[in-house]
Structure 1
């Protein structure tokens, strides 16, 4: 018997939600922290929520707090945005096959793509009974809603909190560490993880902490492409060992 539209979406949601629970817990802390920080800088819940809903830039939103509270320099803001978000170019390239043929929702999936959603979409496969389009859309919508709602809550709570907020922006780094450890728990993902750490360390040593993002991503891409056959078939390396 053919499933109804509601039934298909229900299946997709039930399949997607458990996979997004780590993002939910992380975004709850991150969004709350961002909303509180915006409130302490004089931007109320409406502004912080609009920023999350429209910009949805994650780390760039934290950086934007400084840009909003200092003399505005359009060129600096543009270059900083490119530097911070350049990794999305590589994300997009790697998801060309996964997002191929998804129809009208493809544009929205690209718009709300973030680090955490990329991590899930690139590693979690939808169950056989769930359509790819519905699954990926549910994952993206859930992650997006977690961030926006948590930001709104943080903005509202910021009116009642008076403690020192120094260090709250470290929540973003903490979430990346949690996501990395989750991926590291899978043996097949470890070679890519080692490559990422090594390339980041090389970039840090060569260009410094302020400029390492783009060089590190380029180096990671080059290494992954050159070692693609080995990464796709690690058993070959074991046979040669």
Structure 2
């Protein structure tokens, strides 16, 4: 029992500084969401519970607007599905990391899979003396707490503290650029990265910035699936 508690504590302690770079972005974006809810006339319980239970920034803004209009659950469902469809591709990449080896923690890891937790847990270099499941669990938990805290603070103190949030949304874009650069430096082959850049650029030119994301993800998934099948065939031929 003591050994298990020590293992959990060590993982929690190690995961905290690793999650901290996300703190500022989450607090500011969460603050903006809480402030938005305040402007719509909702008290602090709404952004707190929505951030806690929905935990999907874009979707929470959609739901907030939907609460002010006509009740159209089918429209909200389809719009939410379209906005969050990219996470299907994230989940495919995390099948191995979030597999049975992490135990019951996998259910929280799956439900708390957002862009940032995917980015951090996917590239995490976890020391061998730490429990990988608990480490990824606490990374996801800290990010969840940052978001809920930001949303709550935005609603409670939004009208008191004069924050200028203009341009803060670029913080997450900058973060992903840094993550991409780190992956580029770690890769032995840049074929998959160049494929992603090429497909995204082509779709951006063909369908425009408002609609390029879904076809980009679908094409990349298809190409990588075919590429993986080709690699498997090549490996089997080599082994024979």
Tell me the TM-score range normalised by the shorter chain: 0.7 to 0.9
Verify: 1:182 aligned to 2:191, yes or no. Answer: no
Corresponding residue for 2:52?
53
Q: Contact between 1:24 and 1:143, CA under 8 Å: does it hold in 2?
A: yes
Corresponding residue for 1:30?
29
The CA distance in 1 between the partners of 2:155 and 2:77, in whole Å, is 26
Mapping 1:104-123, distance limit 5 Å? 104-123=104-123
Q: Contact between 1:84 and 1:213, CA under 8 Å: does it hold in 2?
A: no
Corresponding residue for 1:18?
17
Question: Following TM superposition, by how much is the alpha carbon of 1:129 offset from its aligned partner in structure 2, in angstroms?
Answer: 0.2
SS in 2 for 1:221: helix
Mapping 1:40-189, distance limit 5 Å? 40-101=39-100, 102-160=102-160, 171-186=168-183, 187-188=185-186
For structure 1, which segment, 8-17 or 201-210, has the greater mean C-alpha deviation from structure 2 after superposition?
Answer: 201-210
The count of residues paired between Structure 1 and Structure 2 equals 227
Question: Following TM superposition, by how much is the alpha carbon of 1:191 offset from its aligned partner in structure 2, in angstroms?
Answer: 5.3
The CA distance in 2 between the partners of 1:229 and 1:184, in whole Å, is 27
- Runs of at least 5 residues in structure 1 that lack an aligned partner in the other structure: 232-241
Please give the per-residue CA displacement for 1:150-202, whole angstroms capped at 9, x wherever unaligned.
11111111242578x8x75x544431322322331441356554433332232
TM-score by length of 2: 0.83
Q: Contact between 1:184 and 1:193, CA under 8 Å: does it hold in 2?
A: no
TM-score by length of 1: 0.83
Please give the per-residue CA displacement for 1:111-141, whole angstroms capped at 9, x wherever unaligned.
1111000001110121100011111111111
- Runs of at least 5 residues in structure 2 that lack an aligned partner in the other structure: 232-240
RMSD: 2.6
The CA distance in 2 between the partners of 1:19 and 1:227, in whole Å, is 33
